[in-house]
Structure 1
Amino acid sequence: MQRNQPRSAPDAPGVPARRAALQLLDAVLRRGLALEQALDQAAQGLPPSDRGLSYAIASEALRRLPDLDALIDGATQRPLPDDAKARFALRIALVQAMCLGTPGHAAISTVLPLVDGGPRKLVHGVFGTVTRSGATLPDPPTLPDPVAIRWHAAWGDQLIEDAELAIAAPPPLDLTLREAVDLDEAVSLLPGHARLPAGTSVTELPGFEEGKFWVQDIAASIPARLIGAGEGKALDLCAAPGGKTLQLASAGWDVTAIDVSESRLARLRENLERTGLSAKIVTADLLSWHPDEPADAVLLDAPCSATGIFRRHPDVLHRVRPSLIKEMAELQGKLLHRASSWVRPGGTLVFATCSLEPLEGEVQLERFLAHHSAFAIDPVRADELPAGVAAGADGSLRLLPGMLAEQGRLDGFFIVRLRRNA
């Protein structure tokens, strides 16, 4: 008969949240998962406060990872392997003490239980060396080298400076308004838009329960804005989580929203119910699905590397590789080709990606126009954009993180509106 295995002692207060943060960092850096994708498993069973803390620790560590690692490497005789648990524990302890206001003794005492044996002494020693030295993290943070090299080649020095400033702090909260709401501290950059300080609790705002608005970054709201108001049929492709579907429905369109993920469409269903708007929802793979008839307007916010939303999702700075960018671009090309056949003559096709990679934007457009002579760019007008933002010479729109810096910046996007002429 086997002896009963001894039960491990329960974690001390504060340790479960740090254990979840370590699992989140491991999921992003070693397994290439999105931070939010990994959250449910890493924080399983934790109360909301610990769940939120684990996410905050991991997110801030990802914002400042190159600088945290530089401090760690400067305090060790030999560099720790990138995937060493001791390095992960030190990242968590240091980012708490240096960025999140956690007292040093609490920052280190809650991560030591995550490390066994000799590395525990190493972690304690390195943490003490760094904190006693009075070292600080640079402000703004440093971009990871592979990202800086790639973006510098595409956009130059200014983009690197702007991107580093953009990741220094979580971005403000943007709302798309279905009707006017009196919101303290809100600024408006476009009709039907409100921007509030980072950390604002959405559910506590007046008008939330009545469905008067939904959360949507202003950059993400522009693709549907370019379609405008209408009464015909509109297709929202890759629709989840649904902000653009809500925009089109509130603008009068008869909307069909298609996405491959039923779980992500659940959020769209909830928002439709809350706002009282209506749309037909279809769970399907766009590579095999097709509509019964052409539509007056088709919006393809295509799957992409999501590098343009790095300030909200800093994990993309570390898990997106050139191979993924290439893979996403190939998928976008297939989807764009299929979507083009679903637009009636005279209709509108809007293509967008939340990416800072030219392969997922400018290059994609060039390839499409070379093989689809029935389509031409319908230039984005100045009155459709926030003051200070302008379309390119060809009429397409490239949004960069340095734009509207004084108003809180923009996410990175590529957007083009196309008209089918035949």
Structure 2
Amino acid sequence: MPPPHRDQKARARPSGYAARELVVECLAAVLDRGRPLDDAFDAAAGMHAEALPTRDRAFARLIVMTVLRRKGQLDAVLDAFLEKPLPAKGGLIRPILLSAAAQLLFLDTPPHAAISLAVDQCRDNTKTQRFAGLANAVLRRVSTTGKEVLAGIDAVAANIPARLLESWQDAYGADTARAIAEASLAEAALDLSVKSDAHAWAEKLGGVVLSTSTVRLARAGRVEDLPGYAEGAWWVQDAAAALPSRMLGAVRDLEVADLCAAPGGKTAELAAAGARVTAVDFSAVRLRRLSENLSRLNLAADIVEADATAWDPGRQFDAVLLDAPCSATGTIRRHPDILRLKRKDDTSERVALQRRLIAQAARLVKPGGLLVYGTCSLEPEEGERIVDRFLAGSDMDRVPLTPGEAGIDGAWVTAQGDLRTLPCHLPNADPALAGIDGFFAARLRKRA
């Protein structure tokens, strides 16, 4: 009898198999090929679109995120049960084991499901067939005694790269650095910026309203299925990322340039507040996403594809908002691939770019106008030091924040009056509602 057609074979596979295949393919792309998580996940999900219900796709992403957050701990537990290291050319065996171990140790997946699907994955791949027995034996030991091994592992030391932890210790002290690390390993809540009536939308969505007027949901499911999405009543945006726009104050009828604008959360805020916004970004792909977001929200802005370091529209603006490209270490809760991607140390290149950007942004500000410079980085060399160096030779001055302004907690305001949120800020009795992205922003005014 001829072998079954590929589609027939796919239909014969057990429930949940396609989701685990997506997980393994995505992990291999991130961990072995250095591909960013969102790109890797979308590419892998596209290959399984027909076989993957929405619920399974969400579970697959949860597994991937858990592995990327907890890979140090997962590796340590697996290695405790491996008699010898896995071969360098073992194909997908390590991602298969990581996926199953994450389900067993952190996601409470029934052992028979996690183990049998992992073994099936090994058997279905020519490069991992020989590891099927090993996977079965190791994962059975993980399911029975793995949590005992896990209990003896320091999550911070195992999962946070030493270079990051040392940087945070230098900037904030050992205790705060550890609190940042622990918060960065937690799953982030879903934050929404709403056009109006935050309390009504919080009640409708089962969320809470933060001091910043952000609506926060602990567990949301598929975003597109939530009330208010289709009619454009709100957009997804971390509470910290929503603050720099609000630091400009009342912007109705003002001309505002939003530099490095995509995917558009800050542009949407400014447009919803009545500003005449020009959104600038160098990426055509990202600008298409910005345009789609604005269309859903029934908001408008002038969209310009340009390099913000050299963009010269021949006029100046009442205010300029610059959310500069950075290491994004403040967003590890939402982007745990930052912990795993093996990047060269390009800090000096990023800093040089940030200096060029803030200098050009300042040229676009009218006399008496405001510039807000921000980054989602925890590293002072990308935040405070950029601004201090810029101000030393500029015609601009800091405009310090007042605690309580725009709902900004006093603990988030530095001695110089800048915004500095940390992932360990915004504690809550319910861990699912705690935390905030790490963000820095400074408000400057050009002398008249």
- Name the TM-score, length of structure 2 as normaliser: 0.86
Q: Secondary structure at the match of 1:183?
A: helix
Alpha-carbon distance in structure 2 between the residues aligned to 1:52 and 1:83: 30
The residue identity in structure 2 corresponding to 1:261 is S
Aligned 1:197-346 pairs, distance under 5 A: 197-230=218-251, 231-319=253-341, 321=343, 323-346=345-368
Partner of 2:125: none
Contact 1:402 1:409 in 2 (8 A): yes
C-alpha change, 1:219 and 1:347, in structure 2 (3 Å) is same
**Which aligned pairs between 1:132-171 and structure 2 lie closer than 5 A?**
132-136=144-148, 137-138=150-151, 141-142=155-156, 143-146=159-162, 147-171=164-188
1:104 aligned to 2:103? Answer: no
Residue 383 of structure 1 is matched in structure 2 by 404
How far is the alpha carbon of 1:152 from its aligned partner?
2.5
8 Å Cα contact 2:74-2:102 kept in structure 1: yes
Shift of 1:320: 6.0
Secondary structure of the structure 1 residue equivalent to 2:348: helix
Summarize the alignment of residues 347-386 of structure 1 with structure 2, pairs less than 5 Å apart.
347-370=369-392, 372-384=393-405, 385-386=407-408
Shift of 1:245: 0.6
> What is the RMSD of the two structures over their aligned residues, measured on CA atoms?
2.6
Where does residue 95 of structure 2 map in the other structure? Answer: 88
- Within the alignment, does 1:56 sit opposite 2:82 as a pair? no
Q: What is the CA–CA distance in structure 2 between the aligned matches of 1:39 and 1:118, rounded to whole Å?
A: 27
Taking a change above 3 Å as real, the CA distance of residues 16 and 201 of structure 1, as seen in their structure-2 partners, is closer
For 2:9, the equivalent position in structure 1 comes to 10
After superposition, give the CA deviation of every residue in 1:196-225 in whole Å (9 maximum; x if it has no partner).
223355444443333222221110000000
Among 72, 84, 89, the residue aligned to 1:78: 84
Contact kept in structure 1, 2:184 and 2:423, CA below 8 Å: no
1:45 aligns with 2:51: no
**Deviation string for 1:306-335 (max 9, x for gaps)?**
111111111111226461443322222221
Q: Secondary structure at the match of 1:297?
A: strand
Taking a change above 3 Å as real, the CA distance of residues 210 and 391 of structure 1, as seen in their structure-2 partners, is: same
Output the amino acid matched with 2:37.
L
User: In the alignment, is the contact (CA less than 8 A) between 2:212 and 2:239 conserved in 1?
Assistant: no
Q: Supply the distance in 1 between the matched residues of 2:63 and 2:79 (Cα, whole angstroms).
A: 20
More helix as a share of residues: 2
Of 30, 36, 39, 2:38 maps to: 36
Normalised to the residue count of structure 1, the TM-score between the two structures is 0.90
| CA positional deviation for 1:340 | 1.5
Aligned-partner Cα distance in 1 for 2:111–2:30: 26
For residue 409 of structure 1, what is the aligned residue in structure 2?
A: 435
**Contact map agreement 1:388 1:403 (CA 8 A) in 2:** no
Distance 2:364 2:272 in 1: 22
Distance in 2 separating the partners of 1:412 and 1:82: 36
| Greater alpha carbon shift after TM alignment, 152-161 vs 132-141 | 132-141
* Cα deviations by residue, 1:45-89 (Å, 9 ceiling, x for unpaired): 323344333222111111111110110111123333688532222
Q: Which amino acid aligns with 1:29?
A: L
The whole-number CA distance in structure 1 between the counterparts of 2:438 and 2:255 is 29
In 2, are the aligned partners of 1:171 and 1:198 still within 8 Å (CA)?
A: no
Unaligned residue ranges in structure 1 (runs of 5+): none
Q: Following the alignment from structure 1 to structure 2, what is the Cα–Cα distance between the partners of residues 250 and 190?
A: 19
Q: Does 1:119 align with 2:126?
A: no
Task: Tell me the secondary structure at the aligned position of residue 9 of structure 2.
Answer: coil
Aligned residues between the structures:
418
Residue 26 (structure 1) shift: 1.9
Counterpart contact for 1:257–1:282, Cα < 8 Å: yes
User: Percent of counterpart pairs with the same letter?
Assistant: 41
Instruction: Identify the match of residue 183 of structure 1 among 193, 199, 202.
Output: 202
Distance in 1 of aligned mates of 2:221 and 2:359: 40
| Deviation, structure 1 residue 377 | 1.1
Task: Report if aligned partners of 1:179, 1:192 keep a CA contact under 8 Å in 2.
Answer: no
SS at match of 1:382: coil
The alpha-carbon distance between structure 1 residues 200 and 52, as it changes in their structure 2 partners (threshold 3 A), is closer
Task: Give the aligned residue type for 1:97.
Answer: L
CA-to-aligned-CA distance 1:79-133 (integer Å, 9 cap, x gap): 3368853222211111112222221122122223443243332222221222222
- CA offset digits 1:12-60 (Å, max 9, x no partner): 2333322221221122222222110212211223233443332221111
Q: Which ranges of structure 2 fall in alignment gaps of 5 or more residues?
A: 123-127
Cα separation, 1, equivalents of 2:321 and 2:276: 13
In structure 2, give the amino acid aligned to 1:96. Q
The residue type equivalent to 2:40 in the other structure is A
